[in-house]
Amino acid sequence: MDTKDLTLDINQHIDIQKSPEAVFEGLLLEFSEKMCYPDGRSMNMHLERKPGGRWFRDLGDGTGHLWGFVQTLKPPVLLEITGPMFMSYPVTNHLEARVSEIEGGARITLRHRALGLLQEDHKAGVTEGWRGMLEAVKKSLES
């Protein structure tokens, strides 16, 4: 097995014409109550806004999926999450979402790195998934 088969490294960004504070808040909302499937159905995600807080999907009646833990929370600049995310197999993920001020607004830079026995369909779909999430933040804030 090649090490490329065991790793994932995605780096994306999007510029939004809002303040860094508004963009960071929009990002946190997208990671929680606004996160949805491509067809618009809610994923019932929750993000506990504190270091060590859980990021999880609530399926009701005490069931669900743990996606990760908040490693770093520094509004309005940085959110880092570590954990299995949507992968229910031997893997670890690190997600960094950084907001920086640019002329006329703010930029979200998202980096997702993973190490483990990655499924090919997850590697293929995650790039599109994060792009869609970044675009949803932009659409929500600029509309």
What angle (nearest 5°) sits at the alpha carbon of residue 82, between those of residues 65 and 100? 120
How high is the pLDDT of residue 20? 98
More confident residue, 14 or 122: 14
How high is the pLDDT of residue 124? 84
pLDDT tens-digit readout, 89-137: 999 999 999 999 999 999 999 999 999 999 888 888 899 999 999 999 9
Query: Which of 114, 96, 102, 109 lies closest to 137 in space, CA to CA?
Result: 109
For residues 31 and 43, what is the distance between their CA atoms, to the nearest angstrom? Answer: 10
pLDDT tens-digit readout, 20-77: 999 999 999 999 999 998 888 999 999 999 999 999 999 999 999 999 999 999 999 9
List Cα–Cα distances, 74 to 71, 89, 103, 126, in angstroms: 10, 30, 21, 25
Residue 1 has pLDDT above 70, yes or no: no
- What confidence tier does 6 reach under pLDDT thresholds 50, 70, 90? very high
Query: Which of 50, 44, 84, 49 lies closest to 64 in space, CA to CA?
Result: 44
- Could you tell me the pTM of the whole model? 0.93
How high is the pLDDT of residue 120? 87
How high is the pLDDT of residue 123? 86
Surface-to-core class of residue 79, CB atoms within 10 Å of its CB (0-12 exposed, 13-18 middle, 19+ buried): buried
How high is the pLDDT of residue 40? 87
